[in-house]
Amino acid sequence: MKSLINKKVLLIICGGIAAYKSLELIRLLKKNGATIKTILTKSGSKFVTPLSITSLSQSKVYQDLFSLEDEAEMDHISLSRWSDLILIAPATANTISKLANGISDDLASTVALASNKKIFIAPAMNVRMWEHKSTKDNIKKLKSYNYELIGPEIGDMACGEYGEGKMSEPVSILKEIGNYFDILNSNNKYKAVVTAGPTHEYIDPVRYITNKSSGKQGYEIAKSLSNKGFETTLISGPTNLEIDDTVNLIRVETAEEMFKATQNNLPADVAIFSAAVGDYKAKHLSKFKVKKQDNFNLELEKNIDILNYVSNHNSLRPKLVIGFAAETNNLENYSIKKLNDKNCDWIIANDVSNKKIGFNSEFNEVSIYYKKGNKEKLSYKHKSEISDEIVEKIINHLN
């Protein structure tokens, strides 16, 4: 598998009878050209030994969070930064619970929490443990944190029971990881520009006009694009959000600043305009704070329409231009009108009158309207999951 050649995989082995499969997984990864480093949890060492792991990986096994020897050579931050990908196999119910709730009480969980890399988990547990609501809730959380799930499979278990919860076979795990790197390799030729958040349109040095946009959906889209291998630039209005350094973040305040930053980052293959750009600005910006008056008339003028400009620009227009429509009523009519008026390829629309989705919420539900006249709905889920679905559709379109 060419996509694994020279890739650095950090394998975390947790305590479970399926840990023996991790030895075969190490052998397959090495055979396909990957470099392996391994973290063995305390319970994992009850099933496989550091010596057997080292013999196959030809690398040191890391176990103790507070080992002076390990910390001097490579601490938990360095381990997480070293890897191209982190794989937890087997991932026990206990480990999944810790990761979902931000508990970092050993080297494995600390590395996962400190990581800025893609993390895959291959669960392995009894069928009743897998089907328990707490496990399902924890898996849902991890997916929203951008963890990738491999398996589990249905089959006979070591405990004698039958059902879902069996760790995926090493060959299947290898294929999933190989596919991930294949996607990265095929997408790194693409450049994406994303706008996110509100803009601040100043009236005087202390007052401005703005809106309720949090920027969360745009940030998640930028993150998902970067995770899929795109060279990604995020142009953000004022927010309190942070993003990984794999994304080129440009912070702006006003619509004019966002417009100039967008111009400076074209051409691109795809442009996604999720920012809630102020439609109007003060016609006359006061140099000094305007004092309180009984009557105050504010004269406004239109801002540049960034989406319209880019979508209709002959030489700079990206292959795919996607606009957003945040509406409180007549969602479909307004979205289709915007799609046609702005000449963009897709409009992604959501109903911001619904307080469970849209502005400031962690969740969303959107409809995508396509230039060809068809539409589809992405049902209610975490914004990170919505973003992953959108990006998958972008990849399919570009390829």
**CB–CB of 348/323 below 8 Å?**
yes
Residue 121 half-sphere exposure toward CB, CA atoms < 13 A = 29
What integer pLDDT is reported at residue 76 of this predicted model?
Answer: 63
What integer pLDDT is reported at residue 252 of this predicted model?
Answer: 98
Q: Count Cβ atoms below 10 Å from residue 245 Cβ, excluding itself.
A: 9
**Exposure letters 317-337 (e unless 16+ CB within 10 A, then b):** bbebbbbbbbbeeebeebbbe
- In CATH, the architecture of 2-185 is 3-Layer(aba) Sandwich (3.40)
Question: Which residues of the chain, if any, have pLDDT below 70?
Answer: 65-76
| Nearest in space to 399 (alpha carbons), one of 304, 270, 302 | 270
Helix (H, G, I), strand (E, B) or coil at 346: strand
What is the 8-class DSSP label of residue 343? T
Verdict on whether the full-model pTM lies above 0.85: no
Q: Residue 280 is inside which H or E element, if any? A: strand 280-282
What integer pLDDT is reported at residue 367 of this predicted model?
Answer: 95
What integer pLDDT is reported at residue 88 of this predicted model?
Answer: 97
User: Which phi and psi (to 5°) does residue 112 adopt?
Assistant: -60, -40
- In CATH, the architecture of 188-398 is 3-Layer(aba) Sandwich (3.40)
**CB–CB of 191/336 below 8 Å?**
no
- Sequence-ordered list of residues with C-beta below 8 angstroms from that of 40, at least 6 positions apart, any chain: 13, 48, 50, 53, 61, 62, 63
Q: Please give the Cα distance from 107 to 117 (Å, whole number).
A: 16
Find out whether the peptide bond into 267 is cis, omega within 30 degrees of 0. yes
Q: Which residues are catalytic?
A: 159
Q: Please give the Cα distance from 198 to 36 (Å, whole number).
A: 43
What integer pLDDT is reported at residue 72 of this predicted model?
Answer: 47
What integer pLDDT is reported at residue 243 of this predicted model?
Answer: 92
What is the 8-class DSSP label of residue 209? E
C-alpha distances in Å from residue 372, one per residue of 177, 336, 339, 347: 35, 11, 10, 12
* CA–centroid distance for 374 within its chain: 27
The per-residue pLDDT for range 16-39, each reduced to its tens digit, is: 899 999 999 999 999 999 999 999
The arrangement of strands across the sheet holding 270-273 comes to 248-251, 231-236, 191-196, 270-273, 320-327, 346-351, 363-370, 375-382
List the structure tokens of 148. 């990738």
C-alpha distances in Å from residue 63, one per residue of 68, 101, 137, 314, 356: 12, 22, 28, 57, 43
Q: Where in the chain is the domain with CATH 3.40.50.10300?
A: 188-398
Helix (H, G, I), strand (E, B) or coil at 218: helix
What is the 8-class DSSP label of residue 211? -
DSSP letters of 307-336?
HHHHHT-TTT--SEEEEEEEESS-HHHHHH
> Measured between alpha carbons, how far apart are the two ends of the chain, in Å?
21
Q: Please give the Cα distance from 328 to 323 (Å, whole number).
A: 17
List the structure tokens of 337. 């009108």
What integer pLDDT is reported at residue 354 of this predicted model?
Answer: 81
Sign for the CA dihedral angle at 383, 388, 390, 394 comes to positive
Helices (H) and strands (E) in the chain, counts: 14, 20
Q: Where in the chain is the domain with CATH 3.40.50.1950?
A: 2-185
